[in-house]
Amino acid sequence: MKLGFEVDGGIGTRATLGVILLSADETLEPEFARMVAPLDEVALYHSRIRMVNEIRADTLGQMEADLPLAAALLPRARDFDVIGYGCTSAASVIGSETVARTIQGVFPKAQVTDPLAAIIAAGHRLGIKKIGFISPYVAAVSARMRERLEAAGFEIAGFGSFEEADDRVVARITEASIEEAALCMAEHASCDAIVATCTNLRCLNVIERVEKKTGITMLSSNQALGWHMLRLAGVHAPLSGMGRLFKCDLQG
């Protein structure tokens, strides 16, 4: 017996989002799931890109060549509103414009962002001038990211790094350690915002605690990327528990 059926637009009638994340990343997916869970009819799809565990400029640069294949593994039947590339450090090395151009070679209609571009957009939206910058990376990778932020008009008022090259270890840095680092930065740097970079750092639970204790805005790679993707897709609902940023639209 052949059964009849009807078709509709599928899930994601409000927005369809795609994220390309590192093969070593353990944090972005669960944090993004929390951001999207309260939102009806927002579909989120993931693809992975090959990454060695040691984070260096040469290993990060190799991902540029692998991006088209990773993008092509997203469902080709979907019309993506926004695709995010989930690597802050690689976006700093490759450049946000190159990331967008490469992904749009596969999905030409999709808007594209990455954590670096999202942090810059969030910082400008919130009127941030001076950043207390927290990084897990080794010196060369952190330096490239600082250069990108300074070129975007931000002053680095303070800097601290866990100086860890192994992404598997970065994923296991405790939330208590991240919170302590943020509170230390707030105490010693005269800054408008604390920015913790790396999609593998578990920051989402820390952000509001730090903001309440210090009165200073805190941004993280995953939080900023999720916010930017949703706002670019036209989803403007405020979300609680994820910091001041999620109370803002893309433009004031």
24-70 pLDDT tens trace:
899 999 999 999 999 999 999 999 998 765 555 666 667 788 999 99
26 and 66 both lie in a single domain: yes
106 and 147 both lie in a single domain: no
Rounded CA-CA distance 116/142 in Å is: 12
> Is residue 21 domain-resident?
yes
pLDDT tens for 157-184 read 999 999 988 888 999 999 999 999 999 9
102 and 132 both lie in a single domain: no
126 and 214 both lie in a single domain: yes
pLDDT tens for 79-130 read 999 999 999 988 888 899 999 999 999 999 999 999 999 999 999 999 999 9
> Is residue 7 domain-resident?
no
Beta bridge partners of 15: 42
103 and 21 both lie in a single domain: yes
Rounded CA-CA distance 202/197 in Å is: 10
Domain count, the chain: 2
Whichever domain contains 107, its CATH number is 3.40.50.12500
- Strand 193-196 relative to strand 217-220, pairing: parallel
pLDDT tens for 198-250 read 999 999 999 999 999 999 999 999 999 999 999 999 999 889 999 999 999 88
| Single-letter amino acid code for the residue at 249 | D
Phi, psi of 22 (to 5 degrees): -70, 145
| Residue 39 lies in domain | 15-115+224-247
Question: What's the mean pLDDT when you consider all of the chain?
Answer: 92
Task: Give the H/E segment covering residue 104.
Answer: helix 96-104
101 and 142 both lie in a single domain: no
Q: Which of 72-76, 92-96, 151-155, 231-235 has the least mean pLDDT?
A: 92-96
Pair of tokens at residue 193: 């915002």
What is the length of the chain? 252
For residue 135, the model assigns a pLDDT of 94
Residue 181, by phi and psi: left (phi above 0), alpha (psi -120 to 50) or beta? alpha
For residue 137, the model assigns a pLDDT of 86
> Is residue 96 domain-resident?
yes
pLDDT tens for 9-28 read 888 789 999 999 999 899 99
> Is residue 8 domain-resident?
no
Pair of tokens at residue 165: 């090259």
Whichever domain contains 148, its CATH number is 3.40.50.1860
For residue 94, the model assigns a pLDDT of 87
124 and 173 both lie in a single domain: yes
For residue 213, the model assigns a pLDDT of 97
For residue 53, the model assigns a pLDDT of 57
pLDDT tens for 117-150 read 999 999 999 999 999 999 998 887 888 889 999 9
